[in-house]
Chain A
Amino acid sequence: MSQCNQCNVTVRGDNKVCPLCQNPLIGDVGEALYPKIPTVYRQYQLIFKILTALTLSGGIICVGINLMLPQSGYWSVFVVFGIICFWISIIAVIKRRGNLLKSITFQVVSLSLMFIALDFLIGWTGWSLNFFIPISCTVAILSLTIIVKVKKIPTEDYGVYLIANLLFCIVPIVFYFTGLISVVLPTLFCMAVSVVTCVVQIVFEGKNLWREIVKRFHV
């Protein structure tokens, strides 16, 4: 129990300064009365800075290269689009608006349909299947992985996120096997990202996942 000599009150908890007047307290510092819950931004300050730097520089570099090689098509538009979708998802997490898995799936599906329709309308060249869908699936997988980490998703729901991850990776592969895809690189990239994120999650959360599986399927 400590004391503030300015306010003449006793202060409980682990305060070093008085909650009322911010003057230093005298006496023993006690135990914390409330859990420390860091604000999302402060907790992940470094991640946010790295993400901002990466996406911003990545976007600028892609646009730059694209401008230098105009004959390669307007592919950098998709990169910028992906970055915007990515940040929309991240901001939505922090603002706690609704179910993230739903929101991301909705974004990917609606944008994909829109771009397939657009591709079809301006004369089918397949860029929506070749580039847009694998890239947006990759972005979705990355966002999901970060969200699971930032939001501290309980293990009960973890499985759903892993399955979503796999689904986002399977869709481009299905297109690949149906022979609709002529440029393989984005699809391969999407697969690689999915495999890596799954492996990372299993390595770090495998024990909890396994416990969950045992619990749900016990005989």
Chain B
Amino acid sequence: MRTKQWIRLDNAAKIFPAAAYGSDTQVFRLSCELTEPVNAHILQQALNETAAMFPVYQCVMRRGLFWYYLDSTDLKPVVREEYKPPCSAIYCKSNKGLLYEVTYFKNRVNLEMFHVIADGKGAAVFLTALITKYLTLAHGVSAPSLFINASHTQMSNDSFATYYDDKNHSKAVPRPNSYKIKGAKVAENRLKLITGHVPVDQVLRIAKGYGATITVFLCACLIKAIGSNMSVRAKRKPVVIAIPVNLRSFFPSLTARNFFGLVHVEYDFSTESGTLEDIIQKIGKQLKEGLEPERLYSDLNRFSALEHNVFARIVPLPVKNIVMRTAYLLSRRKVTAALSNIGIINVSFGTDYIRSFDVCSATDSMQVCVCSFENCLSISFTSRFISADIQQYFFRMLVQMGIAVEISSNNVENE
């Protein structure tokens, strides 16, 4: 019998178990809509084969005395028809199952993952592999055999630890409390999901017209939409958007686990003009500064410092959970919303059978997730609030710029 392996949580993941609470389950969903109904039987077969290629995800989370850890398991993933609201909790203290789930509904395949095991980029590799497998099985064609450009050890590498340097970390810059979105919330910790599909070329053309990237352009639109719903009093506080950055594009890494950093951009409506041009210019500059390699590197080191601090390490887990949860809540007071762009999703085979890819994430207030496939840019809002005023302002703004918008929603208020 082979001995079971276990691994530590990576540095970004350490906070997630403590932070998962209520609607903020730290679960994200990546889904792929096909042009034909999903066959559950074939999907299960494809999943079995794909799961075998990613042993790093075949694990359950357990509690040690000091830290959580991931224990490899022989549990097999089971495909189910979608049976719960998007981004519902996956990890449950007493029922230790796999930390990801594959479900389907009509034409759509959903991959939901607990953030502890992977970030959006890691999940995208898994989902595209699954979809490719599915399409080759469903259509009986022998596609070029699937090839993951990383060994199992490279995939399970903790890149935070790899790039940690204890001599190089700066003090965190204290930031002021930000504006928080308020309003009546959806019942039972559910999330309102509104997805907009827009043509990539149209958005790209307009963003270029402003001299901005798609991320900066969408982030500016989001800030403007949030600003439109703020009272004069509320405008005294800045709007702060957290933007996760994929560190793989800055530090060579093939990890399938977490490897991202956060850049915060802020905009103060009380002192600035509030025009889209101005917002794009200000946050474009902030994002550029945040993405400078030295800055990212010192952030990465600060992230890892906790794990390398002996005193922090020997605190028992239950106490650590309380401390980390408090720290997380305090940090959340400094963020209005988050915008996460996982970028272009590439599929090596079967693009004709795929309609779109979408991504969305659990949140305690509002989160925007963006990804693109071929010419379809998918922008998903998940929100705790019943009101869709911000989403409405955002998408109407795109429409007014001449972009064709197609909306879909989980219609949470009818449930």
A interface residue numbers (CB < 8 A to B): 4, 7-13, 15, 18-21, 31-42, 96, 98-99, 102
Contact = CB atoms under 8 A, between A and B. Distances in A.
Residue with the highest number of chain B CB atoms closer than 10 Å, among A18, A32, A34, A41: A34
B407 interface: yes
Main secondary structure of the interface of A (DSSP, over half): loop
Nearest to B105: A35
B149 to A, nearest CB: 34
A13 B194 CA distance: 12
B89 A11 contact: no
A98 B411 CA distance: 28
B395 A11 contact: no
Interface of B: 81-86, 89, 92-95, 105-106, 108, 187-188, 190, 193-194, 196, 388, 391-392, 395-396, 399, 404-411, 414-415
Given A36-B415, A37-B85, A12 B187 contact: no
A39 to B, nearest CB: 5
B94 A12 contact: no
Contacts of B194: 19-20
Of listed B89, B105, B408, residue having the most chain A CB within 10 A: B408
Contacts of A32: 106
Contacts of B411: 13, 15, 19, 34
B188 A7 contact: no
A41 B187 contact: yes
Contacts of B406: 9-12
9 contacts: A8-B399, A8-B405, A9-B405, A9-B407, A18-B407, A20-B395, A21-B392, A35-B83, A39-B190
Given A19-B194, A39-B188, A13 B408 contact: yes
Contacts of A19: 194, 388, 391, 407-409, 411
Contact of B94 (A20, A35, A98): A98
A32 B95 CA distance: 31
Contacts of B108: 33
A41 B407 contact: no
Nearest to A1: B406
Given A20-B388, A37-B415, A11 B407 contact: yes
Given A4-B407, A98-B94, 18 more contacts: A8-B405, A9-B196, A9-B395, A13-B408, A19-B194, A19-B411, A20-B392, A20-B395, A20-B396, A20-B407, A32-B106, A33-B106, A33-B408, A35-B83, A35-B105, A36-B414, A39-B190, A99-B94
Contact of A15 (B85, B92, B105, B409): B409
A214 B188 CA distance: 38
B188 A12 contact: no
B289 to A, nearest CB: 34
Contacts of B84: 37
Contacts of B85: 37
